């Protein structure tokens, strides 16, 4: 067996079919938990090992720095370290930085770090008094317009449903003032990066030629989330070629409000008549009854896959009601404390909800139960003061420590100088939180490949930092469902499942309700072994209409 063929070992029939389809258009319809990242990385690595792909000419695109970092890490482990894995924005920004001096002259304009601040100045110029929330809504409108590739005039005539504090006329006027101010200050925003990169390729044949000579083979993950602007940029990168593999799941489209559309994924076979279409439906993550709940939610919906669990056994999803929010949160906290006492690691438990404000009650309940938790979307791990200190000390030690010193010993010595101990404090609080952060670094050292040097370990830490690839901390995760996409836990609690919350009150159209259904589907499919869904009857609330479909499992 050749090295290339060994990369196909362990893939199921559908994953292998996708991995072996190296040339031409390929569409992987990959359901939740079906091993799509494994299929993507083994396909790329197989292409490199078999000599079909020169690694420097492969571009793997995804939507978050964390996902791009994970792709790079996996590809490196499979012998395909030369492959580029980036977000759309990182790729476009790299091209702009390179071509701007040649095409436009001078240095590229600076990127603004906050639309809201510039919008506040634009509002002042129009004598508009807008609060912070309205400025955030206005920023979201700019983003939607640009990724939808609409001019301000087209946007003003679009008939788009607006946030309650903005009219479309006021929003259009504000956007004109914002663009004028941005041009005066010679600045670009996040979406301008994609627009400018697309514009250069469209208008400058030599730019198009150089870009297309650099990258020949494309893989696009989470293709259901692509916007019209990202789709157009991908088309420009490809030119007349068709060596592109797209991967996605229409049932996990939960960013339509930001311009994402599953139409490009579902329409791919029509756009490329010779496309190889592979359906990944073998679910390796969740127990059969959790998979059944997910299938029930999406049955009959456009593009829905029929998942089949390879697991056995497992309890049915539980549905609980409570008289009020505090009682719901206390019940969840009590159940979590019991799971932890029974041996479930806190890091394998998550509580998910629709909007951030719902997290307040469960935070208080977990504090009362003396259960550690981490808020996903709060301060990032590598931005914590103690982690920054540890990285600096480890970097210094990598220069002065002998290469023969065991990694575990050196890392533990450095962390002990910052207060880390083998056994953590027994009570919650800032001291415990600090210990958890340092202990997460210790775990990374313990899990490092045998023979890893301190310098290699430190390089990996800084790569994780750049890719926002946070390590797992020994604490329960609290997160919105949106922020939990792409993650998984043994035990998942979905709380606050009422009419008005999920589906959210402003989801009034059929399309909007369908998006809320997909959001619950994403939440359900985060669970491996145990799934608990709950709602509170506080202020006369009614259970979410989606719960009845989950409850049928028990009948």
Give the CA distances from residue 128 to residues 29, 97, 124, 179, 297, in Å, rounded to whole numbers and listed in that order: 47, 36, 6, 16, 44
Residue by residue, what is the 3-state secondary structure of 279-292?
A: EECEECCCCHHHHH
SS3 425: coil
Greatest Cα pair distance in the chain: 72
Give this prediction's pTM: 0.82
- Sign of the CA dihedral with 296 first, then 290, 223, and 501 last: positive
What sign does the dihedral 462-439-351-527 (CA atoms) show? positive
- 280 has which bridge partners? 30
- CB-count exposure of residue 469 (10 Å: 0-12, 13-18, 19+): buried
Q: Which residues contact 476 (CB under 8 A, 6 or more apart)?
A: 336, 346, 347, 349, 350, 351, 366, 371, 372, 373, 374
Question: What span, in angstroms and rounded, lies between the C-alpha atoms of 450 and 338?
Answer: 36
Is the torsion defined by CA of 18, 239, 260, 350 positive or negative? Answer: positive
Residuewise pLDDT in 10s, the chain (555 residues): 458 888 888 899 999 999 999 999 999 999 999 999 999 999 999 999 999 999 999 999 998 888 888 899 899 989 888 999 999 999 999 999 999 998 888 888 999 988 988 999 999 998 888 878 788 888 989 999 999 999 999 999 988 877 767 788 989 999 999 999 999 999 999 999 999 999 999 999 999 999 999 999 999 999 999 999 999 999 999 999 999 999 999 999 999 888 888 999 999 999 998 999 999 999 999 999 999 999 999 998 989 999 999 999 999 999 999 999 999 999 999 999 999 999 999 999 999 999 887 888 898 899 889 898 888 876 667 778 888 888 888 888 888 877 677 888 888 888 988 888 887 765 445 566 677 778 888 878 887 888 888 888 888 888 877 766 666 678 899 999 999 998 999 999 999 999 989 998 878 888 889 999 999 999 999 999 999 999 999 889 999 999 988 876 543
Distance linking the first and last C-alpha atoms of the chain? 50
d(CA 253, CA 272): 22
């Amino acid at each position: 067996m050749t090295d290339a063929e060994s990369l196909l070992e362990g893939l199921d029939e559908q994953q292998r079919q996708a991995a072996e389809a190296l040339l031409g258009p390929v569409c992987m319809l990959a359901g939740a938990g079906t091993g799509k990242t494994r299929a993507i990385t083994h396909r790329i690595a197989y292409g490199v090992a078999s000599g079909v792909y020169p690694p420097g000419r492969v571009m793997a695109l995804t939507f978050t720095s964390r996902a791009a970092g994970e792709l790079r890490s996996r590809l490196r482990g499979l012998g395909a370290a030369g492959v580029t894995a980036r977000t759309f924005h990182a790729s476009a920004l790299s091209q702009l930085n390179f071509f701007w001096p040649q095409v436009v002259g001078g240095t590229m304009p600076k990127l603004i770090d906050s639309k809201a601040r510039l919008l506040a100045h634009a509002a002042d110029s129009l004598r508009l008094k807008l609060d912070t929330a309205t400025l955030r809504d206005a920023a979201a409108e700019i983003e939607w317009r640009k990724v939808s590739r609409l001019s301000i005039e087209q946007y003003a005539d679009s008939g788009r449903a607006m946030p309650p504090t903005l009219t479309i006329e006021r929003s259009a006027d504000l956007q004109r003032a914002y663009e004028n101010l941005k041009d005066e200050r010679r600045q670009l925003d996040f979406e301008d990066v994609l627009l400018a990169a697309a514009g250069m390729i469209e208008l400058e044949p030599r730019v198009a030629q150089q870009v297309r000579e650099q990258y020949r083979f494309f893989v696009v993950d989470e293709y259901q989330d692509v916007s019209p602007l990202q789709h157009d940029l991908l088309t420009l990168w490809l030119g007349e070629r068709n060596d592109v593999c797209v991967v996605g799941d229409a049932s996990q489209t939960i960013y339509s409000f930001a311009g994402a559309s599953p139409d490009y994924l579902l329409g791919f076979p029509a756009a490329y008549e010779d496309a190889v279409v592979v359906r990944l439906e073998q679910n390796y993550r969740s127990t059969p009854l959790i998979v059944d709940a997910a299938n029930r939610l999406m049955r009959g919906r456009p593009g829905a896959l029929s998942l089949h669990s390879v697991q056995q056994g497992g309890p049915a999803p539980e549905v609980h009601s409570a008289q009020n929010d505090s009682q719901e949160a206390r019940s969840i906290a009590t159940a979590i404390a019991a799971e932890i006492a029974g041996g479930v690691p806190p890091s394998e438990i998550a509580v998910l909800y629709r909007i951030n404000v719902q997290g307040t009650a469960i935070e208080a309940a977990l504090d009362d139960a003396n259960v550690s938790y981490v808020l996903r979307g709060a301060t990032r791990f590598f931005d914590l003061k103690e982690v920054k200190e540890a990285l600096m000390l480890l970097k210094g030690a990598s220069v002065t420590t002998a290469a023969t010193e065991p990694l575990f010993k050196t890392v533990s010595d450095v962390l002990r100088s910052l207060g880390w101990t083998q056994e953590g404090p027994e009570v919650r609080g800032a001291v415990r939180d600090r210990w958890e952060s340092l202990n997460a670094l210790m775990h990374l050292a313990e899990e490092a490949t045998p023979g890893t040097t301190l310098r290699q370990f430190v390089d990996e830490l800084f790569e994780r930092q750049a890719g926002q690839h946070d390590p797992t901390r020994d604490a329960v995760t609290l997160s919105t469902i949106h922020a939990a996409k792409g993650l998984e836990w043994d035990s998942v609690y979905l709380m606050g499942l009422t009419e008005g919350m999920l589906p959210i009150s402003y989801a009034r159209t059929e399309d909007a309700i369908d998006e809320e259904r997909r959001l619950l589907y994403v939440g359900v499919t985060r669970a491996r072994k145990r799934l608990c869904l709950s709602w509170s009857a506080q202020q006369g609330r009614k259970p979410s209409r989606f719960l009845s479909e989950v409850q049928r499992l028990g009948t």
